[in-house]
Amino acid sequence: MLKRMSYKIIKQIINYAQSEEVSYLSITEEQRYLNVSYHLANSKIKNLRLRHSEPEFFSDYFRRLLAISQGELVTNYCFPERTIHWLKRWRASILPHENHEKIILHLPKTTQQNFRLNELGLSSNDLKKFQRLIKIHSGLVVLSSPMSEGRSATLRALAAAFNHQNNNIYFIGQAETALISGINYLTPRPDNWEKIMHHDSDIIIADDLDILKDLKPALLAAGSGRLVIISLVATSCLEALNILISHATPNLLKSAQLKLISNQRLVNRRRQTKNNPLSNRQQIGIFEVLTWSSALNQPLAKLINRTKGGAQLEQGLKEILTETEFSPLAADYQRKLSLKLI
């Protein structure tokens, strides 16, 4: 009975995602309800609340579908071949979420293409911020988005830009990543971080970083005088910052020298025009960009020490972010609407 109910709920969730052409959704459990959030291309979120019969049954059933152990956490995981056919194209992540767990489902893009920085859809002001990173040789840069919303394309564009500066670049990512000549590629294993730290590496780039396994090595690498660029799953710059401070001490964050956090979505282009750097893209990015100042490290450390997380921490982060140089997602969306790009 329980298995049949779980199957029906998953089918209902996926059917709605397909009807709305949603490629990214998250599921959290709350007592006898599932909260499903569908992330749309226009940065809006549709929420669905479903009742179930047993507390915390859903993530356990999902683990059986994924053929992983009870309690195991995974990131960007493929469903086995024997899985029901309408789930095979989806990728799954099971991550900690408050006192429960969050399940994330996304549909990977079928093709990958390397773009230049000026082809991503960045505003002129944000493009200058990204271009300034090319002159930086230490610190931490975070590129974030929900699943399948273009952060890997942004990461590869930055990698290509750095590749023209005679830098020794190491890229940690999945084998499916579109390769760039002249960059050293490694699989995402913890021992590879140790190898990189013992080599003459100028820049380390980590795609789809595993927060539990790779975040601390990435921060230590950034604090060692290297430039480290990571991508991770988050719905906003604020959430990405929250992830950082939830998994690192204030001193480690300070030594990592955070430089910039971006968050983005992909939207369909309204039209294509000749002699336009965006003309070869069917989709362009909607961006929000947060430029971090070292002067904010002290108030951030004080905030972390006096709060225990949750709503109080989030409100404190919002207050700190008012002191930063920040361009919101909604403003970039409206700008592209006014320019008739979308």
Residues 218-245 pLDDT 10s: 999 999 999 999 999 999 999 999 899 8
pLDDT of residue 123: 92
Q: Which of 235, 224, 236, 226 is nearest to 206 (CA)?
A: 226
Question: Is pLDDT of 1 > 90?
Answer: no
Percent of the chain with pLDDT over 90: 23
Last residue of a domain, one of 106, 140, 161: 106
Task: Name 281's Cβ contacts closer than 8 Å, sequence gap at least 6.
Answer: 115, 119, 121, 269
Choice between 334 and 1, residue whose per-residue pLDDT is larger: 334
Tell me: do 140 and 93 sit in the same domain. Answer: no
Q: Which of 125, 116, 126 is nearest to 154 (CA)?
A: 116
pLDDT of residue 314: 78
The mean per-residue pLDDT over the stretch 76-85 comes to: 77
Rounded to 10 degrees, the C-alpha dihedral 35/37/38/41 comes to: 170
CATH number where 329 lies: 3.40.50.300
Tell me: do 136 and 76 sit in the same domain. Answer: no
pLDDT of residue 9: 82
- Of 35-49, 190-204, 207-221, give the range with the top mean pLDDT: 207-221
The mean per-residue pLDDT over the stretch 91-108 comes to: 81
Number of domains the chain contains = 2
64 lies in which domain range? Answer: 2-106
Tell me: do 164 and 282 sit in the same domain. Answer: yes
pLDDT of residue 174: 67
CATH number where 77 lies: 3.30.450.90
Residues 144-200 pLDDT 10s: 999 888 898 899 899 888 887 678 888 887 655 556 777 888 877 777 888 888 877
Last residue of a domain, one of 106, 134, 162: 106
Tell me: do 57 and 142 sit in the same domain. Answer: no
Tell me: do 17 and 82 sit in the same domain. Answer: yes
The separation between CA 192 and the C-alpha centre of its own chain, rounded to angstroms, equals 21
Helix (H, G, I), strand (E, B) or coil at 197: helix
pLDDT of residue 44: 76
Q: Would the pTM of this model clear 0.85, i.e. be above it?
A: no
Tell me: do 17 and 80 sit in the same domain. Answer: yes
